[in-house]
Structure 1
Amino acid sequence: MFACNIYSAHRFAQIFNFAQTHRHMLSEKSRSYKSFLLLCLLLFNFHLFAGDTTKTDVQRYTKTIHFYYQPGMVIPTHAFVKGDNPQNKPYGFFHSFTAQYGIQSDGKKLWQQLYGYPVWGFGAYSACFPGDHELGHPLAVYAYINAPFKRWKKWSINYEVDFGISFNWKRHDLRENGYYYPIGSFATVFFDFGINSVVQLSKRLNLYFGLNFTHFSNGSVKLPNLGVNMLAPRVGVNYLFNDRQAYISRAKPTYEKEWEWLITLSPSLKQVGFTYVDSNSDTVATAFNYGVYTVSTGVNRQVSYKIKIGGGLDLSYNGAYGADTTMKNGKPEKATAIFGDKFLIGVFPSFELVINQISILAQPGFYIYLPETESMDVPTTYQRVGIKYYFPGNIVAGVNVRAYNFSQADFIEFNVGYTLKWKKSYRSR
């Protein structure tokens, strides 16, 4: 464990340089997807902060730095981590180190007061699986927000959401040495959700303890993609570079409910794996890339400063749906397909949590049209979780994770769209 700690600390200190010096390890297509995702995260945090700073601000926000340690367990969600791996033993203990740079809001903007004066910023993460030689030592960079459920004078109970990109995973083929590895790509999406408590120790020092769930997945951009899930307590300290500022509290004006219509285009990439028996009677696995293109339209009703509800329609061309292969010279190739066999229609209710110009969305959908396919286990429902930002000029852009069975990531959607908003009161004046 000591060697693992030394390694993690060394890698953690070099996290950004490491990412730069190993860019050649990623294919051009994979790197463009990961770079776009990281750009979305940077825009998310930059615009959230930039929207709260003006030339008239006399007092700057308090900056904070956080250091955390997490000893935890790998959740046994598939055969590889349960023990079907080259080491013939289950994955159990892991530990990680986290550093965050945060900005403490104080209520200069109304949304900050609505969310209990949250902290937001950037973080860097390093994890280690002691004794492991198969997965690698994942590193991550991410944006985060930590907001209270309840705040008292000296302590608070909070929730935290982290979203970013991880890298430094060992690359693996779809089926390697008879094993199905959980992750095959060098980089993945990083998602973390936690419940925590912060206790004031002094004017500038806080004690932090909590429990966090962490998920790694590449959204089937590169197979294998079984993902890795982890659960761990987190303990650490937060240091404020300035004295604590008084929170600004003001009367909230009555919210005028608003309607919204939007249309978005979401191009995606999904990899599908196939197994076949070669000329040597060996079972071999291979994978092909397929494009997924979705046009979504919907109507939302923003019923409060924080909540939108609505619904919509998805029109999709999914090249991976019912994908098959044909054999040519003893090797598989993509089978030709008719456009209509890949066309899907889905409908969904929508829930959005509004944070300034950001919306965090959840959309459980179901297909109302699915072409017939030879596969009998095609899911008829799907789930979408994502984040989007509203730019000037009625432009919206974001990134979503599409999933099925409420557990398996299907693909990642990068979307851009246009929106119209209007207000109409049904109350008598």
Structure 2
Amino acid sequence: MKRLSVLLLFLFVIKIALASNGTSQDSLDKKSARNPFLSFNYQGGAVLPTNDFVTKQKNKPTYNSYSLKYGYSAAGDRWQDYAYGMPYGGVGFYFANFYNDNDALGNPFALYAFQGTTLNDYSKALKFKFEWQLGASFNWRPYDPFTNHENIALGSSSNVFISLNLYANYQFAPHWDFDFGVSMSHFSNGASRLPNKGINLFAPFFEFNYSFDKKPVINGKHRFVPPTIEPRIDYDLLVNISSRQRRFDTTGTNLPSEYLDRNFGVYGISFAPMVVSSYKYKYGASLDFLYDESSRAKASRAVNPIDSKTYDRIELGPFWHRFSLGVSAKGELVLPNYSIFANLGYNIIHGNDKDKPLYQVAGVKVFLKDNLFGTFGIRASKFSKAQYLYWSLGYTFKGSPVSKIKKTIPAIIKGN
């Protein structure tokens, strides 16, 4: 399942990267021009103390990383470029060095897709931007009970890589930009193999960008004015599928370790009414129904009297205790071809007592065709501990304008 997830993630990243050089679902009849660019990024910072592996280190763990990116940016020749904040995207290669902790963590590298947008134009040359990155990382040194028992942060050599960047962008020459900002990164396998406390990084960074084509002169004065969008409510319906592992109690069970290599199925359905008031942003609430096979499962090691062999025995919990129902607030940043979203929710019916009822969700949505979309996301608790990674297929039901709904409500109340 883990290898399949890595393969699917690679295909997902390729889809995102290819879309970065395409047009959005709202594209004009003529294909928009794209400006190719090359970037070099350096960052140096700290490994955040979000688990025992980090907090028990004698010296505060630090790291530095290098990244090379190639992508395409909007040329400003259509109104969609301005509606979505002059978006850009592409692919990148990432390498990290953890100094004294390389023996425990390894020398990881990552391949990822990225996309960014302008949040604010301060002048012709100075802008404030946001960028997200998603990919797969490799060459970690994972947990091993004999040779690397301290590393409870990562249980696998390949893990998902997620990063969010906020930064100032300054164009100091026609072909050159300089970026300076902060980055937060997360590495995890989504509990597909335990232990999986995750690695969280925070660092300032700088970046140099070279644009192969001369950039357009843009200072917030729109050459193309986006059409006015009438606020409406859309309805997203998603079906999720995943798997996860869980820790087991070793007291009185004869288990030599709390980590068993057993995956449990996780399935969910979510329904989210989303308010659409602009091209770039959506917000709303989500009703999240979840079936978690690992909920209240028990494990023990015992001798089978039939063949006198020793087995690890798994007993699933009561059927109705495997279900949870949560309500969450949801926000979405929309960009051409795909978008990113985040949820903050609470289980009003809480089945899995090993997880906290307060949960967080973050992910990427890729538009497949018309209103059909796929997502890749991670569900977590404590804002740092992954519960599982998941894939979903969803459909957006386009809603009526809010103004029309307001006119309809009085008629419904009167019974007309």
TM-score, normalised with respect to structure 2:
0.85
AA aligned to 2:182 is L
Distance 2:202 2:290 in 1: 35
Q: Tell me the SS of whatever aligns to 1:322.
A: coil
Q: SS of 1:245's equivalent?
A: coil
Residues 294-313 of structure 1: pairs in structure 2 closer than 5 A: 294-313=268-287
Residue 408 (structure 1) aligned to one of 345, 360, 385: 385
Give the match for residue 72 of structure 2.
103
Aligned residue among 21, 28, 51 for 1:49: 21
Distance across 2 between alignment mates of 1:324 and 1:334? 6
RMSD: 2.7
- Check the 8 A contact 2:299/2:312 in 1, yes or no: yes
The answer to whether the 8 A contact 2:295-2:316 is kept is no
- Give the number of aligned pairs: 391
Aligned amino acid, residue 362 of structure 1? A
Q: Given residue 71 of structure 1, which amino acid in structure 2 is its aligned partner?
A: G
Q: Which one of the candidate residues 125, 135, 149 is aligned to 2:105?
A: 135
Counterparts of 1:285 and 1:367, CA distance in 2: 26
How far apart are the structure 1 equivalents of 2:29 and 2:232? 30
State the distance in 2 between where 1:231 and 1:261 align.
Answer: 35
Kept after mapping to 2: 8 A contact 1:62/1:245: no
User: Paired residue for 1:368, among 335, 343, 348?
Assistant: 348
Using the TM superposition, give the Cα deviation of residue 182 of structure 1 relative to its aligned residue in structure 2, in angstroms: 0.8
In the alignment, does 2:246 pair up with 1:272?
A: yes
Counterpart of 1:65 in structure 2 is 38
**What's the offset of the Cα at 1:145?**
2.0
Q: Is residue 384 of structure 2 the alignment partner of residue 390 of structure 1? A: no
Shift of 1:357: 3.5
Cα deviations by residue, 1:77-133 (Å, 9 ceiling, x for unpaired): 22212335xxxx335221111101121212334332124313321111000112321
**Unpaired segments of 5 or more residues in structure 2?**
304-309, 408-416
1:343 — aligned with what? Answer: 323
Which shows bigger deviation, 186-195 or 44-53? 44-53
Match of 2:11 in 1: 39
Asked whether the 8 Å contact 1:122–1:141 carries over to 2, the reply is: yes
Task: Identify the match of residue 206 of structure 2 among 235, 238, 254.
Answer: 235
Counterparts of 2:50 and 2:223, CA distance in 1: 45
Task: Determine the structure 1 residue equivalent to 2:52.
Answer: 79
Q: Deviations over 1:293-312 (max 9, x none)?
A: 11222322212222222223
* CA gap 1:231/1:363 in 2 versus in 1, 3 angstroms: closer
Asked if the contact 2:229/2:278 (under 8 Å) is kept, the reply is: yes
Asked if 1 retains the 8 angstrom alpha-carbon contact of 2:363 and 2:378, the reply is yes
C-alpha distance in structure 2 between counterparts of 1:118 and 1:97, whole Å: 23
CA 1:103/1:282 → structure 2, altered by over 3 Å: closer, same or farther? Answer: closer
Distance 1:353 1:154, change over 3 A: closer
Once the two structures are aligned, what percentage of the paired residues are identical?
Answer: 28
For the 8 Å contact 1:48–1:358, the answer to whether it is kept is no
Deviating more after overlay: 226-235 vs 357-366: 357-366
Report the AA paired with residue 82 of structure 1.
T
Question: Which residue number in structure 1 is paired with residue 155 of structure 2?
Answer: 184
C-alpha distance in 1 between matches for 2:350 and 2:188 = 26
Which residue is 1:333 aligned to?
Answer: 313
Using the TM superposition, name which of 97-106 and 150-159 deviates more: 150-159
Q: CA deviation at 1:216?
A: 0.9
The normalised TM-score by structure 1 is 0.83
For the residue of structure 2 that corresponds to 1:111, the secondary structure is: helix
